[in-house]
Amino acid sequence: MTSEMGVIALGAMAAGFVQGLSGFGFGMVAMSIWVWSLDPHLAAVLTVAGSLAGQVLAALTLPRRWNWAMLLPLLGGAALGVPLGVRVLPMLDVHWFKLAFGAFLLVTCPLMLLAPRLPRVQGGWRGDALAGMAGGVMGGLGGFTGVIPTLWCTLRGLEKETQRALIQNFNLATLIATMVAYLASGAVQPAMAPALGLVGVSLCVPVLLGARWYARLSQQAFRQVVLGLLTASGGVVFVSGLVALLRS
């Protein structure tokens, strides 16, 4: 196995465990490892494919609660956001965008984590749709579909089973749409097949292990895990943007 394939396998295993534990976060963890050595285009495709594979596996192993009142507006917003993100990607200075978005998460999520009790946001279908659209745009820009919707669900104070099921269903649908968009745009190339296969094989066991750990988490512990991962996600997005700017 080449060093690049070893890095790909390591990233997929670590990201798979986090996704199984929290219901999201594959892209954040995988990118924190892949950003240093993989081509950004390949890393983006592997992130979307690995996130999608992990969500499919989780769908087969964990029971889900269907909250259609929130899920449908989220998905409606994502249906607009995914093609917008894919279309804007070639025209946007993605590196500066990542710096700004990463800084936002690095400031807001630790504050929420340190707060003893978060005020609940009432939201409504408009807020759900906007959160879904933001998630779709982030998916089109690089596979980070679950970050904004997860933050939104945390602010709404959803219990962990409801939040996990909602984010998993949202991610599954938006990642399918993102992968279809990638395929239609020619972003997925035949030469990527070995790397894509390695990601799929590497994440299977870690996803199942993460799902077993999830069952042991209390509501408070789950909130801490989610906000901690969102903070780390902000750090990864910020660093990846900074590294790309320094290399350019």
Instruction: Say whether pLDDT at 122 is over 70.
Output: yes
Kindly provide the b/e burial profile for residues 120-157, where b requires at least 16 CB atoms within 10 angstroms of the residue's own CB. eeebeeebbbbbbbbbbbbbbbbbbbbbbbbbbbbbbe
Q: What is the pLDDT of residues 3-31, one digit of tens each?
A: 889 999 999 998 899 888 877 778 778 87
Structure confidence by residue, pLDDT tens digits, 30-73: 877 887 788 878 888 898 899 889 888 877 776 656 677 788 99
How far is residue 16's CA from residue 241's CA, in Å, rounded to a whole number? 23
Q: Is the whole model's pTM more than 0.85, yes or no?
A: no
Q: Are 94 and 197 in contact (CB under 8 A)?
A: no
3-state SS record for 189-245:
CHHHHHHHHHHHHHHHHHHHHHHHHHCCCCHHHHHHHHHHHHHHHHHHHHHHHHHHH
Amino acid, res. 199 = V
83: Cα separation from own chain's centroid: 17
Q: Where are the domains of the chain?
A: 3-247
Q: Which helix H or strand E contains 158, and what residues bound it?
A: none
Residue 186 DSSP code: T
* CB atoms near residue 174 (< 10 Å): 31
Q: Are 90 and 188 in contact (CB under 8 A)?
A: no
Whether 118 shows a pLDDT value over 70: the answer reads no
DSSP state of 119: P
The H-assigned helical ranges of 143-192 are 147-155, 160-185
CB burial of 73-102 (b: ≥16 within 10 Å; e: otherwise) equals bbbbbbbebbbebbeebeeeebbebbbebb
53: nearest Cα among 42, 63, 45: 45
Asked if residues 233 and 144 have their Cβ atoms less than 8 Å apart, the reply is yes
| 70, 145 Cβ separation under 8 angstroms | no
Give me the pLDDT at residue 110, please: 83
65 backbone dihedrals φ, ψ, rounded to 5°: -105, 130
pLDDT digit string, tens, across residues 134-179: 888 877 776 677 778 888 888 887 887 888 888 888 888 877 877 8
Q: Taking a C-beta distance cutoff of 8 angstroms, is the pair 174, 136 a contact?
A: yes
* Average of per-residue pLDDT values in the chain: 82
Over residues 62-113, the pLDDT tens digits come to: 665 667 778 899 999 988 888 888 777 777 776 787 787 788 778 877 877 7
